[in-house]
Amino acid sequence: MSTAVCTPWGSNYNHCMDRTLLLVRHAKAGGGDGGGDVDRPLTELGYEQCRVVAREITGIGLSPDVALVSTARRAKQTFNAMAASADWQLSAELLSELYSGYVEEALEAIRSAPPDCSVLMVVGHEPTMSATAYKLAGAGSVPDAVTRVRRGLPTAGVAVIQVDGLWEGVGFEPTILRWVLTPLA
């Protein structure tokens, strides 16, 4: 079993945010079992990463209200493992565009979040999750976090983004990349 720990890149854990976007790369997956890329399952390490990152998200006072998740098996397993570990009581909305799309499709999905959602989790793939986080790293973003997403999110990495406006304005209005959580094995 892994002895993974979470390392935040950036600071300001106590910053009060109107809305928070959690962009999550799926956890470590194994090879396909005959079903192709979309059917790749999480490994034991992947499940450990989910437990660690879910604990860290909860530890900084965040709990998603809405989850948008890729239709790939590993993304669904990532969300389910994180939700079970943190006792989040919500189900995922599965979106194929988070599997096959890129930044603009991810932004469109984010913009569709209900206005009363305060914490939105999006579980997807690389390079889309880090490219989306990088695009949303506006003025005031933590430099270490920006550097981290520019390099790409590791498996189970989470970019935490402050959204001061409405979800429908994400990508058009200023947002701030506050930190990146990464499980280390």
Q: What is the DSSP letter of 165?
A: S
My answer on whether omega of the bond before 114 falls inside 30° of 0, hence cis, is no
pTM, 2 dp: 0.91
pLDDT tens for each residue of the chain, 185 residues long? 333 444 554 444 444 458 999 999 999 999 866 678 899 999 999 999 999 999 999 999 999 999 999 999 999 999 999 999 999 999 999 999 999 989 999 999 999 999 999 999 999 999 999 999 999 999 999 999 999 999 999 999 999 999 999 999 999 999 999 999 999 75
CATH superfamily of 5-184: Phosphoglycerate mutase-like (3.40.50.1240)
Parse the chain into domains and list their residue ranges.
5-184
CA distance 151 to 113: 27
